[in-house]
Amino acid sequence: MDHTFDVVVAGCGVAGLSAAVTAAERGLKVAVLERASREDRGGQSRYTEAYFRMKALDQVTDDFETHLADNLGLYPEPDLMAEMATGRENWSHATRTLAIPDTEVIGNFAEQVPPTIKWLQGVGVKFDFLPTQFLTATQPRLLPVGGGAALVDALAAQAEKLGVTFFYYTTARRLLLNDDGIVTGLFAQQQGTQAVRFFGKVVLACGGFEGNPALQSKYIGPRSVYLRPICKGAYFNRGEGIEMALDIGAAPSGDFGSYHAEPIDPRSGVSEPSVFIFPYGILVNKAGKRFVNEAPGTVDAWYERITRRIYEQEEGLSYVILDQRMKDIPNYRLAIRSDRPAIEADTIEALAAKLDIHPQTLKETVAQYNAACPTTGNYDPLKTDGMATQGLMPAKSNWALPLDRGPFMAYPIISANVFTFGGLKVDPQGQVLDTDGYAIPNLYAAGEVIGMYYTNYTGATSVLKGLVFGRLAANNIADQH
């Protein structure tokens, strides 16, 4: 069965819907392919709270571009980076093919955020600076009222109103090429068996590979067996869009061996059962030993790096040990999204037994920590207070109060894979580039499919990346139509 459209979008999250609505507004005939049902459409977008790294409705944060640029790999080649800053027309072949997003891509991303927010308001989305799960934070975060589900519902309704055709239970499998190797559309399967060909310019907006254990093992490594997707929508993200583009010579970009890490309670089945309370206790591994500075700074800026250390522990598991002081922290429940209760016991030894940790080892770990806690200082749980341990390795830099008020509590914590970092390289308009740095005709990408992050996520930018590059891709297609 064949279908012909002006634009064929693979994926029905905010990236795909942004592309679809924008293209339809420009008068193009649009198809959206969604592997899930109409009820489940939206993928991860439906489950996220959709934090936006913005200080006002029309302004991104001051560090938006610099944080992205500062995380473009650990050891970039200085000569090539200097050449990149001179402008695209001056780039050598080596600079053109660097597997990182160039400065113009980052700059256009930041520039297009405010008009994208205004556009979303035009389709009925409301925004506010609502409370987040971070008790301490360095950057403001704007949120759509109703989270990602509100974005999906508003954009999907607008797409339907504009005549976009949705194909549910339809999975994109590979790109279609003509005899000259030019992309002409997508080959897909409906209900797992029926073959369908969709002809038109293609926007890949079908997510990363956090829902594909084979690709996780291939790129992140065999320890990825200890990871879990952050929400049920993530299981739909199996990396086909990235792989099918790489198969035809698309350039990779982003850190394929890494992912956005978030600390979650593995006992919980709710969406994003995060546990951000650990700066106020200590983290121990299955051997009952501390292994990381639990509070080097505000939790929003440091939780990912700490969660990566959790992932490195035996079976990728740790426990945060807390006492009753936790309940004195204003709004402490915001930092615990798990629906499972804390594991409690009257003594540290009894708690250790419940955690299957050697009681004497955990008792000694807590005693050593307590002895290193300061006896003076101005404790403030809502900002970094410098209440640091003395003579303890690893140190704890803030909120170091003794654990001595029972009953004692613990939450198990593992690393969730929120989304993968590796993806495709694009130009400032979202067009996919090949391994020689040239645009691949008729092929675009938006959202997680674009590789932009390395080692450390620039928080509250991923949903924006989907929305912005979906619009950029669609407008570029319309301009060329």
pLDDT in tens, 430-457: 999 999 999 999 999 999 999 999 988 9
Q: What is the pLDDT of residues 313-327, one digit of tens each?
A: 999 999 999 999 999
What pLDDT score does 26 carry? 98
Confidence at 84, pLDDT banded by 50, 70, 90: confident
Q: What is the pLDDT of residues 374-388, one digit of tens each?
A: 999 999 999 999 999
Residue 62 clears pLDDT 80, i.e. is over it: yes
What pLDDT score does 85 carry? 84
Which of 87-91, 103-107, 362-366, 424-428 has the weakest average pLDDT?
87-91
pLDDT averaged over the chain?
96
Residue 74 clears pLDDT 80, i.e. is over it: no
Q: 454 Cβ partners below 8 Å, 6+ apart?
A: 71, 72, 73, 74, 100, 254, 255, 258, 421
Q: What is the dihedral of CA 422, 428, 432, 433, to 10 degrees?
A: -90
Q: What is the pLDDT of residues 387-407, one digit of tens each?
A: 999 999 999 999 999 999 999
Give dist(CA 473, CA 343) in Å, integer: 49
Residue 481 clears pLDDT 90, i.e. is over it: no
The residues that bridge with 461 in the sheet, in sequence order, are none
> What class is the 2-258+421-480 domain?
alpha beta
Q: 459 Cβ partners below 8 Å, 6+ apart?
A: 51, 53, 139, 141, 300, 301, 304
Q: What is the pLDDT of residues 96-137, one digit of tens each?
A: 988 888 889 999 999 999 999 999 999 999 999 988 899 998
Average pLDDT value for residue range 281-299: 98
DSSP classification of residue 426: B
Joined together, the tokens standing for residue 154 give 């508003």
Pinpoint the residues of the chain covered by CATH 3.90.700.10.
261-416
Closest CA to 57 of 144, 178, 181, 184: 144
What pLDDT score does 86 carry? 86
Give dist(CA 481, CA 135) in Å, integer: 49
Helix, strand, coil percent content, the chain, rounded in steps of 5: 35, 25, 40
Residue 332 clears pLDDT 80, i.e. is over it: yes
Give dist(CA 422, CA 434) in Å, integer: 15
Joined together, the tokens standing for residue 195 give 């073959």
Pinpoint the residues of the chain covered by CATH 3.50.50.60.
2-258+421-480
Q: What is the pLDDT of residues 234-288, one digit of tens each?
A: 999 999 999 999 999 999 999 999 999 999 999 999 999 999 999 999 999 999 9
Q: What is the pLDDT of residues 193-228, one digit of tens each?
A: 789 999 999 999 999 999 999 999 999 999 999 999
Contact 426, 432 (CB under 8 A): yes
Residue 73 clears pLDDT 80, i.e. is over it: no
Which of 19-33, 79-93, 95-109 has the weakest average pLDDT?
79-93
Between these two residues, 90 and 185, which has the higher pLDDT value? 185
Burial class (CB in 10 A: 0-12, 13-18, 19+), 411: buried
Compute the radius of gyration of the chain from its Cα atoms: 24
In this prediction, what percent of the chain has a pLDDT beyond 70? 100
What pLDDT score does 76 carry? 79
Confidence at 75, pLDDT banded by 50, 70, 90: confident
pTM: 0.96
Longest dimension (CA), the chain: 76
CATH topology of domain 261-416: Flavocytochrome C3; Chain A, domain 1 (3.90.700)
